[in-house]
Amino acid sequence: MQLDLKLTGCRALTMDPARPAAHTIGIWQGRIAGLDEQVEGLPAAETVDLGGAVVLPGFIDAHTHLAWNGRRTIDVTGLATVSGVLDRLAGAPGTGWIEASGYDPRIMDRPLTATDLDGISGGRPVYVADLSGHACVVNSVVLRQLPGITSDGWLTENEQLAARTLRLPYSLDEIVAELRTSAGQVLAEGVTTCAEAGIGAGLIASSPLEAAAYQRARLPIRVQLMVSAYVLHDVAADPADGIPRAIDLGLHTGFGDDMLSLGAMKLWTDGGMIARTAALTEPYAGTDNSGQLAESEEFMRAAILDGHRAGWQLAIHAIGDRAIDFTLDAVAEAQRQRPRADARHRIEHCGLVRPDQLGRIAELGMIPVVQPTFLHAYGDDYSEIMGPRRAPWMYRGRSFLDHGITVAGSSDRPVADGAPLRAIEFMVRRRSSGGRAVGPDEAVTVEEAIRAYTLGGAYACRKEDVLGSLTPGKLADLVVLGEDPRTSDAIADIPVLATMVGGNLVPQRSG
Ligand SMILES: [Zn+2]
């Protein structure tokens, strides 16, 4: 047997407890053929000496938005004055919609309004998305097309969705370009697999043909597509199947191949903390606002029951503790009605978890898919709006692990920085970008944080048989780093030297 490639001089942290370290990795036909003495005696078509570089399994971003992230909109991130935002938007090229993103109402001198935007629109529709994707500001041209909505321009959740829908669809060529931009960006940060969090309909959908764009794009990373629960519809299946609603052809989680597959069914049960729409059991500190559920409980319960019945893994967006209560109740009900072993339903974000909810998450075998970089970027603000009693409950780490819960790491890019090494650093240190300690008791070890971005992500995507560790037989996906995160005092700054997807070693720019 001749290997395709032999990597020597590695300091590999395999994440496989059966063989945690390795210095030589043999690759054949896109898979890991063996480690160390298993392959040292074998010839190889090519041998690359990594010169003592650190090698980890490729990072898995278990919840991201590649198309949205790659969208070419006018960036108003960090602008804190209405005049600053208007200056940036004025004279936007093109003729159709003027689209901007990164608006942050929390830092503005005063709220941006439709009237402000009318001044620079030249009669074109204007859509300024906030950082979280849960709110926007639009101009009067857009508002006029939304009869029944009374607003000065600021729209959240379903009203925002109505405005967004006016802009749809994007063309396949536009989406393909967005995906390719994002794929290059994530690879440079060591990410080799992404789960796209909700295509087909809902808040961040681009086109009813979205899946075709992923197929056409032939990206250099592996992608799993979560499908929006809004596309569930009645099907006339044999009653013996017990599946009243499904998507066309009965497709569900697991369909596809190692490069592109269907993941979970995505459902939104509340909003977000940036827009103050995450549903809480007690109000945001100093207000009487407790956020809101995304839809009627009846609608959301039916989606969970029917998605579960149709064989889907569920990925349920729930940030506030009230949304998490609802999610746990509905999933427990689904399991009572139709017990499914290893259904492995996920809670996307799982942002504010009361102590009494930890045991229930464990009992139901649910997987929190967390975004540690939210707290790096927004931890100061979130700590204020949760208040001192609840702040330590946000985006937990240690408590989940102590309850035997598998944690998956993710970015929710472009809502926050997508680099896994920054997230890993946060999980270990629990320090916001402003230097504030955020839930320091939830700190985990470096290995545990890496696990969330490798094996944890693979488990959340039901791909742990082929991804997540450097184990013979698994797919040859890895990242080569300039320094060992276990001994680094600046994990986020460690250079990514190269990535490998399916045995294809690609040097990265940051190296
Ligand atoms: Zn998301």
Exposed/middle/buried for residue 103 (C-beta within 10 Å: 0-12, 13-18, 19+): buried
Give CA–CA dist 57/133, Å, rounded.
Answer: 31
Compute the average pLDDT of residues 410-439: 94
Q: Is the pLDDT of residue 449 over 70?
A: yes
Q: Which of 100, 127, 156 is the last residue before a domain boundary?
A: 156
Ligand 1 centre from 132 Cα, in Å? 9
State in Å: Cα 63 to ligand 1 middle: 6
Token digits of residue 78: 């960090």
Centroid of ligand 1 to alpha carbon of 133 (angstroms): 8
The string of pLDDT tens digits covering residues 38-69 is: 999 999 999 999 999 999 999 999 999 999 99
Same-domain pairing of 291 and 427: yes
Q: How confident is the model at residue 204 (pLDDT cuts 50, 70, 90)?
A: confident
> 415: how many CB neighbours lie within 10 A of its CB?
25
CATH code where residue 128 lies: 3.10.310.70
Distance 371 CA to ligand 1 centre (A): 10
Are 228 and 301 in the same domain? yes
CA 346 to centroid of ligand 1, rounded, Å: 13
44 and 193 within one domain: no
| CATH code of the domain covering residue 420 | 3.20.20.140
Query: 156, 184, 216: which is the final residue of a domain?
Result: 156
Q: How far is the CA of 68 from the centre of ligand 1 (A)?
A: 10
Distance 317 CA to ligand 1 centre (A): 8
Please indicate, yes or no, if residue 243 is contained in any of the structural domains. Answer: yes
263 and 147 fall within a common domain: no
**What is the pLDDT averaged over residues 115-123?**
96
* DSSP code at position 58: P
| Domain final position from 131, 156, 181 | 156
What is the per-residue pLDDT for 441?
98
Q: What is the mean pLDDT of residues 442-462?
A: 98
User: Is residue 151 one of the residues assigned to a domain?
Assistant: yes
Contact yes or no for 111/138 (Cβ under 8 A): no
> Tokens representing 351?
């942002």
Contact in structure between 304 and 267 (CB atoms under 8 Å): yes
Quote the number of domains for the chain: 3
| pLDDT single digits (tens) 269-317 | 999 998 899 999 999 999 999 999 999 999 999 999 999 999 999 999 9
b/e sequence 420-452, b meaning 16+ C-beta within 10 Å: bbbbbbbbbbbbbeeeeebbeebbbebebbbbb
Nearest to 23 by CA among 14, 33, 10: 10
Q: Is residue 192 part of a domain?
A: yes
The residues pairing with 64 across neighbouring beta strands, listed in sequence order, are 196
Query: Which DSSP helix (H) or strand (E) runs through 357?
Result: helix 355-363
Ligand 1 geometric centre to CA of 65 (Å): 6
Q: With 0.85 as the threshold, say if the pTM is over it.
A: yes
CA of 266 to the centre of ligand 1 (A): 10
On the question of a cis peptide bond just before residue 169, with omega within 30 degrees of 0, the verdict is: yes
Does residue 416 sit within a domain?
A: yes
Distance of CA 277 from the midpoint of ligand 1 (Å): 14
Ligand 1 (ion): residues with CB under 5 Å are 197, 412
Residue 509 has pLDDT above 80, yes or no: no
Using the predicted structure, report yes or no on whether residue 511 has a pLDDT greater than 80.
no
Element (DSSP H or E) covering residue 335: helix 321-337
pLDDT at 410 > cutoff 70: yes
Domain-embedded: residue 372: yes
Tell whether 274 and 332 lie within a shared domain. Answer: yes
Statement to judge: residues 417 and 502 lie in one domain: no
Pairing of strands 98-103, 126-130: parallel
Q: How far is residue 27's CA from residue 25's CA, in Å, rounded to a whole number?
A: 7
Q: Are 201 and 168 in contact (CB under 8 A)?
A: no
74: CA distance to ligand 1 center in Å? 20
477 and 425 share a domain?
no
Strand order in the sheet with 191-199: 59-64, 191-199, 222-228, 260-268, 314-318, 346-349, 367-370, 408-409
Ligand 1 centre distance from Cα of residue 197 (Å):
6
67 lies in a domain?
no
In a domain, 165, yes or no: no
Does 224 have pLDDT greater than 90? Answer: yes
Confidence of residue 417 (pLDDT cuts 50, 70, 90): confident
Residue in 319, 240, 233 with CA at minimum distance from that of residue 276: 319
167 assigned to some structural domain: no
129-162 pLDDT per residue, tens = 998 878 999 999 999 999 989 999 999 988 998 9
Average pLDDT, the chain: 95
- The answer on 127 and 189 residing in a single domain is no
Q: Which residue segment(s) compose the domain that 122 sits in?
A: 73-156
Same domain flag for 404 and 497: no
Answer for the pair 115, 153: CB distance below 8 angstroms, yes or no. yes
Beta pairing class for 408-409 and 367-370: parallel
Do 144 and 214 sit in the same domain of this protein? no
The answer on 195 and 107 residing in a single domain is: no
3-state secondary structure of 385: helix
Single-letter residue type at 102: G
Same domain, 445 and 480: no
Q: Chain centroid to CA 180: how far? A: 17
Ligand 1 centre distance from Cα of residue 126 (Å) = 23
Q: How far is ligand 1, taken at its centre, from the CA of residue 410, in Å? A: 9
Distance CA(444)–CA(409), nearest Å, equals: 13
Q: What is the CATH number of the domain that holds 15?
A: 2.30.40.10
Q: Which residues contact 329 (CB under 8 A, 6 or more apart)?
A: none
Instruction: Categorize the per-residue pLDDT at 510 as very low, low, confident or very high, splitting at 50, 70 and 90.
Output: low
Q: Residue 60 Cα, ligand 1 centroid: separation in angstroms?
A: 15
Read off the pLDDT of each residue in 63-87 and give the average, rounded to a whole number: 94
